[in-house]
Amino acid sequence: TLSPLESSPAPLLLVLLMLSSVCPSGPEPVLLFANRIDIRQVLPHRSEYTLLLNNLENAIALDFHHSKELVFWSDVTLDRIMRANLNGSNVEEVVSTGLESPGGLAIDWIHDKLYWTDSGTSRIEVANLDGTHRKVLLWENLEKPRAIALHPMEGTIYWTDWGNTPRIEYSSMDGSNRRIIADTHLFWPNGLTIDYAGHRMYWVDAKHHVIERADLDGRNRKAVISLPHPFAITVFEDSLYWTDWHTKSINSANKFTGKNQEIIRNKLHFPMDIHTLHPQRQPAGKNRCGANNGGCTHLCLPNSKDYTCACPTGFRLDKFLLFARRMDIRRISFDTEDLSDDVIPLADVRSAVALDWDSKDDYVYWTDVSTDSISRAKWDGSGQKVVVDTSLESPAGLAIDWVTNKLYWTDAGTDRIEVSNTDGAMRTVVIWENLDRPRDIVVDPVGGFMYWTDWGVSPKIERAGMDASSRLVIISSNLTWPNGLAIDYESQRLYWADAGMKTIEYANLDGSERKVLIGSNLPHPFGLTLYGERIYWTDWQAKSIQSADRRTGQARETLQDNLENLMDIHVFHRHRPTGTESASPPWGALNSPRLLVPCTSGEGVSLCNKSLLVYWSDSTLRKISRAALDGSQYEDIITTGLLTTDGLAVDAIGRKVYWTDTGTNRIEVGNLDGSMRKVLVWQNLDSPRAIALYHEMGYMYWTDWGENAKLERSGMDGSGRLVLISNNLGWPNGLAVDKAGSQLLWADAHTERIEAADLNGANRHTLLSPVQHPYGLTLLDSYIYWTDWQTRSIHRADKDTGANVILVRANLPGLMDIQAVDRTRQLGFNKCSIRNGGCSHLCLPHPAGFSCACPTGIQLKSDEQTCDPSPETYLLFSSRGSIRRISLDTNDHTDVHVPVPELNNVISLDYDSVDGKIYYTDVFLDVIRRADLNGSSMETVIGHGLKTTDGLAVDWVARNLYWTDTGRNTIEVARLDGSCRKVLINNSLDEPRAIAAFPKKG
């Protein structure tokens, strides 16, 4: 007979429920959840709701490490995995490259590892908690891995996959022993959690609107609750907690019955992942790797019995596949089992198209058709630099001449092929005629030829010497969109991919013996490259990288698929053929230049004849620079205090540079190296534009096209200012002095005229009308030359009559200033040649002789020759990226930048008049620094333990430094050298800001 207990199932159920209920121990549990734009925490039984991290982009997945007090989260907009302290401080990137949609992450709190899923790359990866030693753990037969949960005590991983065959799987934490544990009645398995005490797993399916549970091997599966749209789930003791997209809420229920449902918090922004922050959710367990990382040099990954030593997904440095994907550039090692790709950590890649490489210096080069630039970096992402970023419209092809160290590129926007040194210097156009959307380009520096595709109205493939000689069309039939090009140097063949014909073909280097290599299953081939016995290509439509035998087209393989926006492809190796430098460098165009023309961003240009340096202004970068005509000796001479520097003139005799600035409405002067800079004219200027000098006469001329356009003159020291012409002017752009003819010439884009007048403004007459939109104007011999925005051309005419107009050069977009250079012309006599006119600083000509002058803000002494090193009285102020000074000794009140290096976000500053030091805080670097008033001797005073230092005060008597920190809510003090640091106040402060010291009163 049955005992009363055995005969009655109800009491038995009661006993089981009582046994399974665990009394809460330790701190009260906290629910930690991602809310897209922030991460918050809520106490489930009291609904206390606090913000942990805000101003996030799109936080989806999260987890925590309780003993280390860290929170981790993924952001699918930034494609980053981040971490911070559990108090919200010390936010930092952990994984910042190679992510597409990191929708799940999990922390192994015993072995200190970070695991994550990525439904974009179809991978599960692992790394140390700081992101180092990253490894692709699982990649085969994964479609859209989503949620992930770990059982470090058992050494296992569990994850959901909601691809075409939705399933839940598990494996050991080293990737071994993989097994499917559920693959029926699943659609969108989103959230997943493990009940460690109950030895069960729980998951949510948003399509089936359900929470289910099963044993850890998938058995005893059972639906627990039906819901609108559950996303993520966590468990604690007897309760389940989940987020729901439809109700925008966090809910709870009994984990056994699904009953006792409660709304913990509703009206949320967009609740995503959720975890219970409590030590019970990360119980202690055996560290299989022990204290010495299992003896492993890199990764020690646990499994169900022991552990496995593993290597990060790595690269040999002598061979890898390199490819562009618009927003990034990636590489695939041929030495990794999974052929997984790795993102080269580069900044500001927006639309990378063409690639090439140079194994000599381990550089990768790429074009970007969004930023219209060509850049380079080491293959590991270091040393990134923009090589060319002017006068580019659609640089779609790129090729390195590794023998003579030249860079060739095509531009489908300007219809040109150009070349420069690999650092961008010595740039010149080699081919510009009869090009119609040139696309890819390859070079054969040993053979001395370059080859390019052109897919305009008459698609073709052409060849020319690398100096543009012997140009020849080698393929002109049966082409539609000839994209990628590659040379087989061994067999002396040229390969190309045609996205319109959907073929990959080859021919001899002269175009003969043309054959189709692959003519099927090529939806849209784009990039093409060869290495060894294989040919590799990218395909836009198939979204894949494929390869085949280069001779037969057989043995096709897919290296990677599901890759959007695939562009160019190359194999980086160290076996390029070398030979004698047979190709003559195409620099003839620069050997004897006559006209100097900047394009696009360089507005003003001038030339110093003595040392053959060209000077130019760049209003985008806001600086004035100079370089030799071969591109060497490049340096920026003025880098601060410029806004729109439209006019520039070099006094080659007096060794000065003058410029106008329509943004600051000033005319300034400085030495040729940018030193001793002085504001000459600052009053009654509306938009000063062009400027021209006549050193022998001591005159400076400029145009002003403000509300009342005019043409003015003054001495080159700013004295004797006079308006010469003020009527019938619109947009007076170009300006030139005809010394031989004693006349002024100017171009007006509004009246569409080029006019002339005497040097005093009399006898004004029109030389040419109409001219469409003239900008720059210059003289050489008996001709005037001008640039025209409308015609995109350079024109010439007789300077006295305006007759005999000819087109010098067409198809030049972005034309700006123009200057003529005559090397045979003798420089005139320098009025300041003897001991700099006796001046301590600037000696500036005027019609009656010269005058001494001081840099901006400094007054000339009574001897009218010497200057003090700095002003007597002045204001100092910070402006985020700069520290500036305004002298109160002079009337112009111009702000002068103090040239302190490495300024990022300067907030507060103070000055120690005893030592002449500026002290300042930089909240981007979280430092307090000091420097001399001339910007030298910069050093860090406090370099750690700062968060947001908004206030700073120097005690010049006791030689102490006080500061406030709004991030830490403290006021601290230290000696002026940073020693003896002490916290003065750290309570009852709520974002302390400004601070001032009164040493006399103490």
pLDDT digits (tens, 9 = 90+) for 971-992: 999 999 999 999 999 888 888 9
Which residue did the predictor score with more confidence, 49 or 483?
Answer: 483
Residue 791 CB neighbour total at 10 angstroms: 17
- Are the CB atoms for 961 and 954 separated by under 8 Å? yes
User: Which whole number is the average pLDDT over 933-949?
Assistant: 91
pLDDT value at residue 286: 92
Q: What is the pLDDT of residues 173-222, one digit of tens each?
A: 999 999 999 999 899 898 999 999 999 999 999 888 899 999 999 999 99
Closest by CA position to 36, among listed 3, 1, 62: 62
Distances (CA, A) of 119 to 66, 147, 562: 27, 10, 11
Closest by CA position to 922, among listed 896, 901, 937, 899: 901
Residue 398 binned pLDDT confidence (cut-offs 50, 70, 90)? very high
pLDDT value at residue 278: 92
Give residue for tokens 């449902």. Answer: 261
Task: Give the domains, in start order, of the chain with CATH numbers.
Answer: 30-281 (2.120.10.30), 326-573 (2.120.10.30), 613-809 (2.120.10.30), 899-985 (2.40.10.500)
Eight-state DSSP code of residue 36:
B
Give residue for tokens 């229920």. Answer: 253
* pLDDT at 667 > cutoff 50: yes
* pLDDT at 581 > cutoff 50: no
Eight-state DSSP code of residue 22:
P
Q: Which residues are CB-neighbours of 141 under 8 A, at least 6 positions away?
A: none
Q: Which two tokens stand for residue 803?
A: 């007759």
Closest by CA position to 789, among listed 804, 778, 777: 777
Please write down the HEC assignment for all residues of 418-439: EEEECCCCCCEEEECCCCCCEE
pLDDT value at residue 611: 55
Q: What is the pLDDT of residues 500-543, one digit of tens each?
A: 999 999 999 999 999 999 999 999 999 999 998 999 999 999 99
For the question of whether the overall pTM of this predicted structure is more than 0.75, the answer is no
Q: What is the pLDDT of residues 830-869, one digit of tens each?
A: 888 788 889 999 999 999 999 999 998 888 888 989 998 7
Residue 336 binned pLDDT confidence (cut-offs 50, 70, 90)? low
User: Which whole number is the average pLDDT over 664-681?
Assistant: 93
Q: What is the pLDDT of residues 897-929, one digit of tens each?
A: 888 888 989 999 999 989 989 999 999 889 999
User: Exposure of 18 by Cβ count < 10 A (0-12 exposed, 13-18 middle, 19+ buried)?
Assistant: exposed
Sheet with 569-572, strands from edge to edge, namely 341-343, 329-333, 320-324, 569-572
pLDDT value at residue 254: 93
* pLDDT at 766 > cutoff 60: yes
Which residue did the predictor score with more confidence, 777 or 1002?
Answer: 777
Q: Which two tokens stand for residue 248?
A: 């925008």
Residue 619 binned pLDDT confidence (cut-offs 50, 70, 90)? confident
Q: Which two tokens stand for residue 282?
A: 């990360």
pLDDT value at residue 717: 94
pLDDT value at residue 206: 85
Q: What is the pLDDT of residues 20-36, one digit of tens each?
A: 334 445 577 899 999 88
pLDDT value at residue 604: 56
Give residue for tokens 């470090």. Answer: 152
- pLDDT over 90 percentage in the chain: 62
pLDDT value at residue 908: 94
Q: Which two tokens stand for residue 957?
A: 């008597």
| Lowest mean pLDDT, pick from 87-96, 822-831, 838-847 | 822-831
Q: What is the pLDDT of residues 785-817, one digit of tens each?
A: 999 998 989 999 999 999 999 998 888 888 889
- The span from the CA of 666 to the CA of 619, in Å, is 15
- pLDDT over 70 percentage in the chain: 93
* pLDDT at 966 > cutoff 80: yes
Which range of 576-585, 596-605, 672-681 scores highest in mean pLDDT? It is 672-681
- The span from the CA of 829 to the CA of 826, in Å, is 10
User: Exposure of 6 by Cβ count < 10 A (0-12 exposed, 13-18 middle, 19+ buried)?
Assistant: exposed
Closest by CA position to 229, among listed 285, 201, 187, 265: 187
The H or E element spanning position 13 is: helix 9-20
* pLDDT at 3 > cutoff 50: no
pLDDT value at residue 315: 52
Average model confidence (pLDDT) for the chain?
88
Which residue did the predictor score with more confidence, 248 or 234?
Answer: 234
pLDDT value at residue 387: 95
- The span from the CA of 135 to the CA of 127, in Å, is 6
| Lowest mean pLDDT, pick from 7-16, 295-304, 529-538, 689-698 | 7-16
Asked if residue 770 has a cis previous peptide bond (ω within 30° of 0), the answer is yes
Q: What is the pLDDT of residues 361-378, one digit of tens each?
A: 889 999 999 999 999 999
* pLDDT at 823 > cutoff 50: yes
pLDDT value at residue 337: 63
* pLDDT at 659 > cutoff 50: yes
* pLDDT at 600 > cutoff 90: no
* pLDDT at 9 > cutoff 80: no
User: Which whole number is the average pLDDT over 391-405?
Assistant: 92
pLDDT value at residue 716: 95
- Are the CB atoms for 528 and 537 separated by under 8 Å? yes
pLDDT value at residue 318: 64
